[in-house]
Amino acid sequence: MRNIFILLVSTILFSCGNEAPKKKKTAPEKTVEVPSFNEDSAYKFIAKQVAFGPRVPNTSGHDACAAYLIETLNAYCDTVIVQEAQLTAFDGTVLNSKNIIASFKPLRAKRVMLCAHWDTRPFADQDDENKNVAIDGANDGGSGVGVLLEIARQFAMKKPDIGVDIILFDSEDYGQPSESDFPRMQHSYCLGSQYWSQNLHKPNYFAKYGILLDMVGGKDAVFTQELASVTFAPQAVQKVWNAAASLGYGNHFQFQKTQLIIDDHLYINNLAQGRVPTIDIIEHDSSTESNFYEHWHTHNDNLDNIDKNTLKAVGQTVMQVVYNE
Secondary structure (DSSP) of 120-167: --SS-TTSSS-TTS----TTTTHHHHHHHHHHHHHHHHS--SSEEEEE
Give residue 26's pLDDT band: very low, low, confident or very high (50, 70, 90). low
- Tens of pLDDT along 170-208? 999 999 999 999 999 999 999 999 999 999 999 999 999
CATH superfamily label, 35-175+184-323: Zn peptidases (3.40.630.10)
Residue type, 243: A
Q: Which residue has the higher pLDDT, 15 or 110?
A: 110
Please tell me the least confidently modeled range out of 11-15, 146-150, 210-214, 271-275.
11-15
pLDDT of 25 over the 70 cut = no
- Residue 171 CA to residue 191 CA, distance in Å, equals 5
pLDDT of 114 over the 50 cut = yes
**pLDDT given at position 24:** 54
Q: What is the DSSP string of 24-77?
A: PP-PPPP---PPPP-HHHHHHHHHHHHHT----TTSHHHHHHHHHHHHHHHHHS
CB 292 within 8 A of CB 285: yes
Give residue 68's pLDDT band: very low, low, confident or very high (50, 70, 90). very high
- Tens of pLDDT along 124-167? 999 999 999 999 999 999 999 999 999 999 999 999 999 999 99
Q: What mean pLDDT, rounded, does the chain reach?
A: 92
**Structural domain spans, the chain:** 35-175+184-323
> How many other C-beta atoms can be found within 10 angstroms of the C-beta atom of residue 186?
6
- Residue 283 CA to residue 289 CA, distance in Å, equals 14
Predicted TM-score (pTM) of the model is 0.91
Residue type, 43: Y
Tell whether the torsion through CA atoms of 226, 124, 218 and 285 is positive or negative: negative
CB 113 within 8 A of CB 197: no
Residue type, 125: D
